[in-house]
Amino acid sequence: MKVLIVQPIHESGINLLRSAGFDIIYASSPDPKVVSREIKDIDGVIVRTAPFTSEIIEQADSLKVISRHGVGVDNIDIESASKKGILVLNTPGVNDVSVAEHTIAMILALSKRIKDIDNAVRIGNFSIREEYSIIDIEGKTLGIIGFGRIGSLVAKKCRYAFNMKILVYDPYVDREKVEDVNGELVDLETLLRDSDFVTIHAPLSSETRGLIGERELRLMKPSAFIINMARGPIWDETAVVKALSEGWIKGAGTDVFEEEPPSLDNPLLKLNNIILSPHMAALTKECVIRMAICSAQGVVDVLTGKTPKSIVNYSLLKKYGKI
């Protein structure tokens, strides 16, 4: 059987697939037009963040499993896959630590102005120290949008390492889970008004697309920071640019963009009060191995008739009578 690797993954995952006896095919490009041509007799796929569209799925004659190397599945046309009875898997629980740490790195880098002060020293501006512009995070309020695996881990670490006060907005979470970290479940407006740091950890869905726009950013304190570790379209980038350049908020950090990679004329790239990272929060040396093994194991399980760990489209497969 053949497994298509749409974007490179760590060799530990490839070795696992090879030792199960599968042929490995690397896509010539992650471009959906190219993948559509190469998918024909493929049995399993491992996909990272590249779009896996209905156009590709239509061309697939033998595909049984699409295994997402990561958590967010917004790049996969799950509806089309489910109609064809193709299982969609992901790798929850293996990247929480890495993304939570990246989030905390952003919180610290913003509050301590790491990027600015490093630049200042290099150009002889040692007196930047007299601006008294960096802050402690101890005791500050952290607002978490989306209290799942990553959001709740950020809460725990920030609560217990930095004694931060935790506010949570998540329409689907139990109050007790939030209270476990001495957090408070609040509505989105309260969270935005009262937080010193807001961090986004919700999935991209029709409900969360554009969740943070002009109105929401204007509710935030002028001294506050916002961090997006989830997906670019959850905030309105144009509104974020306005908020940062007009001083509605102090600063921001993001790992994700509406368009990835962002074009060089994206105004976010011109602003100094935002820290940018190239969608790599989960790409630590350790995490790429965990994601490669977990996504590959999912393919092996499906193609050898075992039940895989994390089926994303179980209810849709049921709806279409495929299981």
Segment holding 179, helix H or strand E: helix 175-179
Tell which positions 263-282 bind ligand NAD, by CB under 6 A.
Answer: 279, 281-282
Smallest gap from residue 145 Cβ to ligand NAD (A): 5
Binding ligand NAD by CB under 6 A: which of 97, 104, 107, 147?
Answer: 147
- 279 counts as catalytic: yes
Stretches 9-17, 200-208, 214-222, 266-274: which one binds ligand NAD (CB under 6 A)? 200-208
Among 102, 231, 237, 290, the active-site one is 231
Q: Does 290 bind ligand NAD (CB under 6 A)?
A: no
Between 69 and 113, CB nearer to ligand NAD: 69
Indicate if the alpha-carbon torsion angle 53, 62, 33, 295 is positive or negative: positive
Q: Does 9 bind ligand NAD (CB under 6 A)?
A: no
Q: Cα angle vertex 142, ends 256, 98, to 5°?
A: 45
Reported in sequence order, the residue ranges of 54-170 that DSSP labels E, i.e. its strands, are 65-68, 87-89, 141-145, 165-169
- 231 counts as catalytic: yes
Binding ligand NAD by CB under 6 A: which of 76, 110, 145, 185?
Answer: 145
Smallest gap from residue 128 Cβ to ligand NAD (A): 30
Q: Does 256 bind ligand NAD (CB under 6 A)?
A: yes
Number of residues that bind ligand NAD (CB under 6 A): 32
Among 79, 189, 259, 260, the active-site one is 260
Indicate if the alpha-carbon torsion angle 238, 206, 290, 20 is positive or negative: negative
The values of phi and psi at residue 93, to 5°, are 85, -5
264 burial type by CB count under 10 A (0-12 exposed, 13-18 middle, 19+ buried): exposed
Q: Does 157 bind ligand NAD (CB under 6 A)?
A: no
Give the CA distances from residue 103 to residues 96, 98, 282, in Å, rounded to whole numbers and listed in that order: 10, 9, 11
In angstroms, rounded to a whole number, what is the distance separating the alpha carbons of residues 200 and 169?
A: 10
Q: Does 169 bind ligand NAD (CB under 6 A)?
A: yes
Give the CA distances from residue 280 to residues 95, 142, 229, in Å, rounded to whole numbers and listed in that order: 11, 22, 10
Site string for ligand NAD, 54-73 (x = CB under 6 A): ----------------xxx-
Q: Does 229 bind ligand NAD (CB under 6 A)?
A: yes
The position carrying tokens 């497994």 is 3
Segment holding 291, helix H or strand E: helix 285-303
Binding ligand NAD by CB under 6 A: which of 39, 94, 99, 294?
Answer: 99
Binding stretches for ligand NAD (CB under 6 A): 70-72, 92, 95, 99, 145-151, 169-173, 201-204, 207-208, 229-231, 255-256, 279, 281-282
